[in-house]
Amino acid sequence: MKKMLFLSLVSALMLASISSCRKADAVIRKEQSALSDIYLTTEGKGGERLFDPRYSANNDTVYFDVPWYYPVDSDNEVDLTKMIIRSTIPTDAKMAPTLGTVMDLTKPVTLTVTAGNGKQNTYVVVAKKVGDVSITSAAIAYEAEGATQNLEGVIQQNEILFYVLPGTDVTKSTFTYEINKHSKGSIASGTVIDLTNPVPFTVTGVDNVPKTYTLRATEPVKLAYGVGINRKLFTKTAAELSFGANMETSIAVSGDYLVLVRRTSPSKYSVYNRFTGAYVQEMMNPFGSTLSFQMVEDSTGNLLAASWAPKNANFTLYKFKSPLDASPVKVLEWTNNNPAGITADGGVGRRVNVYGDLNKDAIIMAPAGLSDVIYRWRIVGGQVVSNTPEVIKYKSIAGGSSSFLGYYAEAQPVSADANANYFINYQFEVALVNGSTHERITALNLGWPVVFTMPTAYARFNNANYLAIVKYLNTYDLNQVQTSLYDVTQQSKISMDPASDDYSSFNVYNSTLLTGTTNGNGTADICIGFSNNKERMQVYTLLTNGGISAQEFTNYAK
């Protein structure tokens, strides 16, 4: 027995000795040294993303065109000697010099990113102050048929087009416009001009750099189908709109207004002019201290405000005639008593979508959080058929058998019929779904650099059906988004390969990037409005922590 104990002790000591002599595993250092994001802010603005970059062809030079004044319509002159660079670099990498403090950018600054294994990338940051030579709006007034006619111009990159009917006398057109208050126009606003022939118009910024536009009266070529000329209406940054951190979640259109939902406590509905982005007023909140994430519009401009309802709380919808309506009508109130047996989040109200006229016939759909469940209500003759929703389970969920629709999934009906088909948009796909069987019919073919999609809007314009979505690109920080417009009139096109020669007839528009700070909740929104007797369509995009951009589409071709 003693011998066996001795042998066991010797064996243990030998194993311990062998173990103590074994070398530790080597740490494999990472080789990534590329700059994945960079932006500028100013002293006192913390981490607010104020100015975005543009890159040289080989990505080794980063240019910043900094507005002479910020905000651009203010008198606050930007000081390039007091700028702050913020960037994102790979883990295990180091930046030299250290960023995040005030720097002088009146001269180029060299940045070096060193990977964990010693590999380096060098970048040169070049900043300059620039004047604002954009034109916010332009119009002409002329006499026709004994009355003054007012015509808004379509602002293009280098020209302003005024679409007038054949035979119209434009020899005495009163030209008015809006530009930055620090810039100068070569023609005074209110001047009478002859537009029989093209007229040059130069805007000179505060930096004395000019840009010349051509004013042109032309006969409109009205398209029988789809969108034609488009232009940017405005872009407002998070700072200009006084965004909080992760607070702005939804937008909706009604009349001449755009409503922004802020999930503060209590929630707030801020109203803006939807053609200029100018603040108008705050809207009535019918929910008191109950949280609201979402407001949507119907086909006639009625607004539907939704409360947030976790399990066993009341889900309430109010209808407003307009943002100025102080007497909203309660559409429905339903206790979220978990009728589908959802074991996870199950909350309702983060996303609500509607199709139709709330005063006549409409369909309302709202997914339950972290589930495969969507709730559906019908409006018939202006009244809700039942406060208790129809419980739908999406049967073709992607991402594996244990997947769910996430927190911010959307279900967008495409008609007001009882079993209307609908588009579903969640972290794994954007798909058209059969409204009776709740199975996928077809899905969009999206790949890198799309990392995520979510907000959805659906509308009919000039004999075509359009699906507008917000795509999160390049990074799982979810702070870089692109607005895309798809012509989904022909169902067969929805799954089209992006490499197809005909893809541009399906994916008819992709915006430039709208960027912000890290968007941990992955929230954004999109909505659509119309003007000029539906000859123009406006698409509005909200990025939480980023801002709002607006794009206008017409049914005119050059």
Q: Is there a contact between 348 and 337 (Cβ–Cβ < 8 Å)?
A: no
Question: What is the CATH number that goes with domain 37-130?
Answer: 2.60.40.2340
Q: Which runs of consecutive H residues, i.e. helices, occur in 418-526?
A: none
Average pLDDT of the segment spanning 315-336: 96
For residue 33, what are the CA distances in angstroms to 39, 56, 396?
18, 18, 41
Q: How far apart are CA 363 and CA 413, in angstroms?
A: 7
What mean pLDDT do residues 38-55 have? 88
What does the alpha-carbon distance between residue 110 and residue 387 come to, in Å, rounded to a whole number?
Answer: 63
Give Cα separations from 512 to 471, 482, 483, 517 (angstroms): 11, 6, 8, 17
Closest CA to 264 of 241, 243, 238: 243
Q: What fold is seen in the domain 230-557?
A: Neuraminidase (2.120.10)
Give residue 401's pLDDT.
Answer: 58
Whether the predicted pLDDT of 26 surpasses 60: no
Tokens of 380: 């018939």
Architecture per CATH, domain 135-219, reads as Sandwich (2.60)
Cis link prior to 266 (omega < 30° from 0)? yes
- Per the prediction, the chain carries an average pLDDT of 90
pLDDT of residue 30: 57
pLDDT in tens, 333-356: 999 998 888 888 899 999 999 999
pLDDT digits (tens, 9 = 90+) for 289-306: 999 999 999 999 999 999
Distance in angstroms (rounded) separating the CA atoms of residues 122 and 397: 45
pLDDT-derived band at 31, boundaries 50, 70, 90: low
Q: What is the rounded average pLDDT of the residues 52-68?
A: 91
With cut-offs at 50, 70 and 90, classify the pLDDT of residue 18.
very low
> From CA 235, how far away is CA 219, in angstroms rounded?
29
At a CB cut-off of 8 Å and minimum separation 6, what does 409 contact?
351, 367, 424, 425, 426, 427, 454
Residue 19: is its pLDDT beyond 60?
no
Between 289 and 4, whose confidence is greater?
A: 289
Six token digits for residue 518: 């890290």
How much is the pLDDT for 229?
84
| 386 vs 145, more confident | 386
pLDDT for res 29:
53
Instruction: Quote the DSSP letter at residue 300.
Output: T
Ramachandran assignment for 255, one of left (phi > 0), alpha (psi -120 to 50 degrees), beta (any other):
left
Give the percent of the chain with pLDDT over 90: 72
pLDDT tens per residue, range 80-102: 999 999 998 887 889 999 998 99
From-to residues of CATH 2.60.40.2340 in the chain: 37-130, 135-219
pLDDT of the residue at 76: 93
Helix/strand/coil for 19: helix
pLDDT digits (tens, 9 = 90+) for 183-224: 999 999 999 999 999 999 999 999 999 999 999 999 888 899
Amino acid at 88: T
Strands 120-130 and 61-67: parallel
Is the bond leading into 97 cis (omega within 30 degrees of zero)?
A: yes
227-235: average pLDDT: 88
pLDDT at 17 over 50: no
Closest CA to 232 of 185, 182, 275: 275
Give the per-residue pLDDT at 79: 95
Q: What mean pLDDT comes out for the span 304-321?
A: 96
Under 8 Å between Cβ of 427 and 404:
no
Its pTM stands at 0.76
Laid out side by side, the sheet with 410-413 consists of 410-413, 422-426, 429-433, 440-443
Report the pLDDT value the prediction gives residue 85, as an integer from 0 to 100.
95
pLDDT for 404 equals: 86
Q: Are 220 and 168 in contact (CB under 8 A)?
A: no
265-285: per-residue pLDDT in tens? 999 999 999 998 999 999 999
Mean pLDDT for 371-378 is 96
What are the pLDDT digits (tens) for 461-474?
999 999 999 999 98
Give the span between the Cα atoms of 237 and 181, in whole angstroms.
Answer: 19
